[in-house]
Chains A and B, each alone.
Chain A
């Protein structure tokens, strides 16, 4: 009860600050929109897809997962600014739940991601992408879990390193291989065996596969629950770890 109340309190505050400056939601969506408009048209011939719509069914889920991963991973920067302003320390002197300090922030990130995902989906609909509502909502659940995990991890790392200078290269180093090994831009079915073997160990590759299955309308596909399950477990672990960083002494 206290956790829910405190989380809502922090969430409201964070959302209010975001809405005061909503331009960041659109800055975040700018890059994926560019991919959608300028890169996706190459895919029909490249993927040998029968129609443009088929190509989008493969590409858009990958793009959304990409958005969720990156959107989450870079939230730590905002937290470092809060650390510096003393806002985190001020919160830690109160009896407010430490888990709520994290969850309130991460849930704000999830909401902002879903708004961005809706923008991308609506644009893709203009390009003849078709997906059933149930499949789409499940795909959004997957995205929400991914964003929850990556933003929590990003906050946890931000509390550990405490400086933008250390956070930026660290996040890029993590994100690059994760991105390339998840078949986000092109499906890994094109990859040589060794590369597929490595990608098996990348949870985001499972998430991308699951999301693609949903966009293909294959709700019963094992990949859907496997992807959701793996990401849900990792999100829970990420939240647990990051909340402990909030409870530990940080300046």
Chain B
């Protein structure tokens, strides 16, 4: 459905008198297959939105190629526009218009006739449970209602693929759960969905496949399960005070069941082990004999954050 090769974009920004070039996206290769929910996971500023905006024809790439929904992004952006839907992060509805007006106008901008546009708007309002508010001005809507209008706008012309930029950011947990349902429904209708998110849980629970992005590059790509499997074994977090951390690190570093060991900034160790259940008693025994004053011990199944951490050296929650 989407294939990109070496997609690049840099921006020039001015800082005082100097112009600085920022490489926002540095060579992205992606493959998104039909009918899946594909997620772009990464911290703010990783280049997710820039990549999405390039794929949606809003900005021109500096280099690279892409095929989107069967059309060449560089050579035939007009055809790409006809086949895709795009929902921006910052909203796209006008305060003084009603949801129905927005939907009809948007459908008509795709060249759809007036009667058909009205029919589609009514159907979309119904599907997104907006009929009750359809003829009220957008400024009276709640955040969740407004977001649903925006998603409805993005798919009013039944595109083959819809791009959703941070579809749940700023929503309360309940609205977020609703939105996940809506997005799964789009997939059930046969649409390919491409979302960006910086929520680990969202990428994990919602996406069929994800690409982890950092500093303008894709650092990992696969299903959430595959990515987590790459980090073999479990993670054991050992809570210690700062002084004891170094000593514990020396003690545990050579142990055969510890695959990898890292210090945690605020004190303590992160140990990568094959099997948490058998490693924990051994770790406890080792630390106990040295009398290091253990404050906590936790067992983690690897999460996408651990994937991010091993690929970038930083935690997504911190960045």
Interface, chain A (partner B; CB < 8 A): 2, 6, 9, 13, 16-17, 20-21, 82, 85-87, 89-96, 249
Contacts and interface: CB of A to CB of B under 8 A. Distances in A.
B264 interface: no
A140 to B, nearest CB: 29
Contact of A90 (B59, B82, B88, B108): B88
**5 pairs of A and B residues whose beta carbons are closest in the complex:** A86-B92, A90-B92, A94-B109, A96-B109, A93-B86
Contact of B58 (A9, A96, A249): A249
A89 B88 contact: yes
Contacts of A20: 96
A86 B57 contact: no
Contact of B57 (A9, A17, A82, A93): A93
Contacts of A87: 92-94
Interface in B191-206: none
Given A6-B109, A9-B108, A13-B105, A94 B81 contact: yes
A91 B109 contact: yes
Contacts of B22: none
B106 interface: yes
Counting contact residues on chain B (CB < 8 A from A), the size range is 20 to 34
Interface string B205-247: 0000000000000000000000000000000000000000000
Interface string B53-71: 0001111100000000000
Interface of B: 56-60, 78, 81-82, 84-86, 88, 90-97, 101, 105-106, 108-111, 153
A94 B88 CA distance: 13
A95 B111 contact: yes
Contacts of B59: 249
A89 B82 CA distance: 15
B90 A86 contact: yes
Contacts of A9: 105, 108-109
A16 B102 CA distance: 12
A249 B77 CA distance: 13
A82 B81 contact: no
Contact of A86 (B60, B91, B105): B91
B183 to A, nearest CB: 18
A2 B96 CA distance: 27
Contacts of B106: 90, 94
A85 B95 contact: yes
B96 A17 contact: yes
B60 A249 contact: yes
Contact of B88 (A2, A21, A86, A249): A86
Nearest to A95: B81
Given A86-B88, A249-B60, A93 B94 contact: no
5 contacts: A82-B94, A87-B92, A90-B106, A95-B111, A249-B59
A91 B60 CA distance: 17
A20 B88 CA distance: 27
B86 A85 contact: no
B110 A94 contact: yes
B95 A93 contact: no
